[in-house]
Every structure is written in C-alpha cells, then in structure tokens.
C-alpha cells in the first residue's frame, strides 16, 4: 500500500513576515525530503492586510496569495502537491488557528475574516466545509481555546525555536475528543520535515485534504521527538 507524506503548516517569505525561505526554495526542500505535498498556511492577520496600500480587497488578496501561487507553480514543475490553508489570528487574543477546506475564491469572497472572534468564526464555519484547528495551543502567550469552537488541535508543532508543550496539546485533544494534527511550522530551512502527517491517499486539492481530515484518514503523525 502506498502512503503519502504531507506537511500541514508551512509559511513562505513572500507573505509571512516571519518566513525566511521563498516559496520556490521551500517546495524544492520538501520534494528532496520525500514529501508528497504541503499546505501553505501563511499568517492571515489584521496587521498584514491593514499594512498594505489602500487597494481593493481583491488586490490585497492577490498580494497575500503570492507565496501560495508561487509554490503551486513550482510544485507543478517538480512534482509536489501544494494545497491552501491559512493561519488565522483574531483580535481577541494571541491564539492562532489553522484553517483548511477552501480554495482561493473563498478568501476573495469573504474579506476580513480576522474581524470575527473564534466563536463567531466557528458559527460561520458551520455552513461551509472549513475545518478549524488551534495551532500550538500551549505555547507561551497562547491560551487553549474553548473546545466547543474547534474541530481539532495541533498536537505536534515541530518549530525548534519555540517550546509548544506538545504533550499538553495531545492530552488536551484526548480530553476533549478533538481531531489531531502535526505540522512543522516551517519558517526557516532547518524546519523542513519536522512534522506532518501520513495519509493513505493523496488529496489533489484543499477540499479533498479537509475531507480526509474530517473522515479520520490520518495513518500516522510525523514528529522529530
């Protein structure tokens, strides 16, 4: 049986201020590391969008998706699947949420998602195919969210520059019967392949990826521990 390796938490330098590796380079790094696909989850925040010129929302979104679109083209060229997600931050606190289950048109058609809070976004997501996972819920300055408003939790975050207290995240997911996820939280070259998931099937787009997560299709969580 074939298995497929996907990293669920990857940032590009084109879009995420904290990203240090451009989209083309990171795609090549993951191809070399034996991954079949990655999910670009660049930071989606009020500060990012308000820091852009006074353009239309569509132009702002063109700018936001620069890293993703560049990664897609390089992935097609070398044979690595590139999917779309976001790492969404609301104004209510420092928490961040990995959101899956949409294509670019969703972001163009639904501006300013950061203006919501987790509760209202969770209600909004009920009428969509979105999945919402809290990223690194036990990291310093982060508060574990109300599980009623989550589909899942990132139980393993591979970023080596932060202590994400992954064991606590795992216990939290078990205690509240939440779905689980592992990701590298890629920002720098040394972050390559420090997390991810192994699947029985290779999703061709972000909607298929979310369906696999929704139907408990993860075979194994990749960790460096």
Mean pLDDT of 195-219: 97
pLDDT per residue as tens digits for the range 114-162:
999 999 999 999 989 999 999 999 999 999 999 999 999 999 999 999 9
The CA-atom distances, in angstroms, between 198 and each of 35, 42, 212 are 9, 22, 11
Phi and psi at 65, nearest 5°, equal -85, 10
Residue 211 pLDDT grade (very low, low, confident, very high; cuts 50, 70, 90): very high
Residue 187, classed as helix, strand or coil, is coil
Taking the C-alpha atoms of residue 118 and residue 127, their distance in angstroms, rounded to an integer, is 15
State the DSSP H helix or E strand holding residue 183, giving kind and residue range, or none if neither.
Answer: strand 179-183
**CA gap 181, 222 in Å, rounded:** 9
Instruction: Return the CATH number at 83.
Output: 3.20.20.140
**Residue 61 in tokens:** 């979104």
Q: What is the pLDDT of residue 126?
A: 94
Q: What is the mean pLDDT of residues 43-67?
A: 94
- What is the length of the chain? 225
Q: Which residues pair with 98 in a beta bridge?
A: 87, 133
Strands 131-134 and 97-100: antiparallel
Residues 6+ away with beta carbon under 8 Å from 127: none
DSSP result, 193-211: TSSEEEESS--SSHHHHHH
- For residue 176, the model assigns a pLDDT of 98
pLDDT at 225: 57
Domain region containing 178 = 4-222
Among 108, 98, 29, which Cα is nearest to 63's?
108
Rounded Cα distance between 121 and 73, Å, is 31
pLDDT digits (tens, 9 = 90+) for 32-47: 999 999 999 999 999 9
Average pLDDT over residues 41-58: 93
Q: Give the span between the Cα atoms of 95 and 84, in whole angstroms.
A: 20
The structure tokens 């992954």 sit at 166
Burial of 4 (0-12, 13-18, 19+ CB in 10 A): middle
At 107, the pLDDT band (50, 70, 90 cuts) reads very high
Q: Which element (helix H / strand E) includes 29?
A: helix 23-32
Q: Can you state the angle between helices 23-32 and 66-78, rounded to 10 degrees?
A: 40
Q: Is the pTM of this model over 0.95?
A: yes
Number of domains in the chain: 1
Confidence of residue 101 (pLDDT cuts 50, 70, 90): very high
Query: Which residues contact residue 212 at a Cβ distance below 8 angstroms, ignoring those fewer than 6 apart?
Result: 199, 201, 203, 218
């Amino acid at each position: 049986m074939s298995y497929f390796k996907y990293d669920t938490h990857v940032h590009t330098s084109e879009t995420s201020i904290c990203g240090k590796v451009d989209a083309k380079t990171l795609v090549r790094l993951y191809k070399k590391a034996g991954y079949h696909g990655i999910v670009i989850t660049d930071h989606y925040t009020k500060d990012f969008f308000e820091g852009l010129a006074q353009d239309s929302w569509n132009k702002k979104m063109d700018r936001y998706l620069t890293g993703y679109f560049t990664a897609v083209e390089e992935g097609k060229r070398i044979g690595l699947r590139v999917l779309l997600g976001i790492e969404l931050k609301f104004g209510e606190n420092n928490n961040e949420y990995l959101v899956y289950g949409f294509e670019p048109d969703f972001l163009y058609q639904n501006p300013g998602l950061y203006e919501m809070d987790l509760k209202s976004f969770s209600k909004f997501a009920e009428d969509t195919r979105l999945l919402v996972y809290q990223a690194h819920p036990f990291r310093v300055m982060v508060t574990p969210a109300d599980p009623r408003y989550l589909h899942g939790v990132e139980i393993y975050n591979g970023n080596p520059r932060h202590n994400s207290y992954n064991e606590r995240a795992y216990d939290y997911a078990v205690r509240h019967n939440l779905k689980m996820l592992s990701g590298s939280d890629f920002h720098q070259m040394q972050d390559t392949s420090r997390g991810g998931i192994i699947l029985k099937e290779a999703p061709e787009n972000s909607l298929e990826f979310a369906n696999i997560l929704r139907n408990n299709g993860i075979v194994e969580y990749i960790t460096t521990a």
